[in-house]
Amino acid sequence: MMLRYLGSTKNLAGCVGGLIGVVLHLTGVVGWFWPFVVGALYAAGALLAPAEKVRLVPDTSAELRSSLETLVRRVSAQASRMPPSVVDTAGRIAEVLRDLLAQPARLSADPDLRHAVVRLAGTDLPLSLETYLNLPWWFAARRAGAGEELVAQLGLLEAEAHRVAERFYASEVDRQADHTRYLRDRDA
């Protein structure tokens, strides 16, 4: 706890205030009561400094990107066991999610959007693929419904990934439309 405070913004601001007090003493601005001035300026700096941000939910974007890459590699390695379109669809879903996870600060600004991306990348996509791959190969090959289920699940996940991306990039789309209107109005 003490080590954490030593590196905090509050302690650093207090140290700057205390240093200003020492400089005031060395330049002769304050006399014999300089220790009180140093303490008061330290306290003022520490009290006025912004508090550290509390992060209850860790930033998992880097971990999710890494696990997403691992998942895509493993799916590609198992391509012979899956229906033909699965590897391509999983790759397209992963590409959308990679783009979203590449902007963790912006993603964390919208908790609902962040939750949707984390759920897609960390739970839904891996669960669909792992469930299919955990079936014995002879069982999955003999039962056509298992492959169809996987294809259907990936289709739903791809549609959801695109809906999430639409929400994520909505402000850029609006900005582009506004600029088009401005250019048309300027021409008129």
pLDDT digits (tens, 9 = 90+) for 36-92: 999 999 999 999 988 776 554 455 788 888 889 999 999 999 888 888 899 999 999
Residues 25, 42: Cα–Cα separation, whole Å: 14
Tokens found for residue 121: 């990348």
Q: What is the mean pLDDT of residues 96-104?
A: 92
pLDDT digits (tens, 9 = 90+) for 114-161: 999 999 999 999 999 999 988 888 887 777 788 899 999 999 999 999
Residues 20, 98: Cα–Cα separation, whole Å: 48
CA 14 from chain center: how many Å? 32
Burial of 4 (0-12, 13-18, 19+ CB in 10 A): exposed
Residues 23, 167: Cα–Cα separation, whole Å: 53
Residues 65, 1: Cα–Cα separation, whole Å: 32
Tokens found for residue 171: 């402000």
Residues 153, 138: Cα–Cα separation, whole Å: 21
> Does residue 171 register a pLDDT over 70?
yes
67 close to 125: Cβ distance less than 8 angstroms: no
pTM of the model: 0.65
Residues 166, 108: Cα–Cα separation, whole Å: 16
